[in-house]
Amino acid sequence: MSVGSESGSPDSPPADSTTAPYVERGDIGYRQSLSSLQMQMIAIGGAVGVGLFLGLGDQLHSVGPGLVLSYAVVGVLVYLLMRALGEMSVYRPTTGAFVSYAREFVGPRFAHLTGWLYVTVAILVGIAEISAVGVYTAYWFPNAPEWLSALVALCLVFGSNILTVRAFGLIESVAAAIKVIAIVLFLVTGLLVVFLGGPFGWETEASVTNLWSGGFLPH
């Protein structure tokens, strides 16, 4: 009998051997400081982007009511993506998120690519959203330079990120709540204009018939 096949030899695994759990080096030294409510509000605030407030009008003007089809398709894809990410987060919470999961389940090269793609997208989206602040403030302050309000917003965002985690969670929760309240007010106002505009004597062309009067896909 060879040495490798003898009981207790180094080549034979122990009877109670189990696979060691995957450990992400970036998780060492971190602890959870955000509450469940704060994490939910941050997720909601992240889902409500600046495009919903600024870009939706131009898109509806150029595409028409059929734009809802694009939102539906992308919404389904995002839902499936977040379901998958949620499953992995329950399996192993980590600070590296999908970069860490890509390293564990695919490989380091794919994780490297995923991480840098995320950084690039975050930079581009961040520039677009900070620039949108200047467009908003120009409505109330037309004589003020747009870059000034964008710079102030950038300083506020950077300042909130260098505070403590609890302070960051509080600021993000309040900001997300403002977004949610604004969306609710928009929806209520829109319903009032569409269904009660005539009885109130408001001069408006808002109507449910706009969904098909000019064609569902006019362009």
pLDDT digits (tens, 9 = 90+) for 17-60: 455 566 677 677 777 788 888 888 888 887 777 667 777 777 88
Is-above-0.85 flag for pTM? no
Cα angle value 118/146/62 (rounded, 5°)? 65
pLDDT at position 3 over 50 = no
Say whether pLDDT at 212 is over 80.
no
What are the tokens at 47? 């889902």
Of 99-103, 156-160, 191-195, 201-205, the least confident: 201-205
User: In the chain, what percentage of residues exceed pLDDT 90?
Assistant: 11
Residue with tokens 């009877």: 15
According to the model, what pLDDT value does residue 109 have? 93
pLDDT value, residue 112: 93
pLDDT mean over 134-147: 86
Residue type, 8: G
Q: Which residues of 8-46 are buried (b: 16+ CB within 10 A; e: fewer)?
A: eeeeeeeeeeeeeeeebeeeeeeeeebeeebeebbeebe
pLDDT tens readout for residues 83-120:
988 888 888 888 888 888 888 888 899 999 999 999 99
Query: Residue 149 to residues 135, 146, 156, 202: CA-CA distances in angstroms?
Result: 9, 6, 11, 34
Give mean pLDDT, residues 151-162: 88
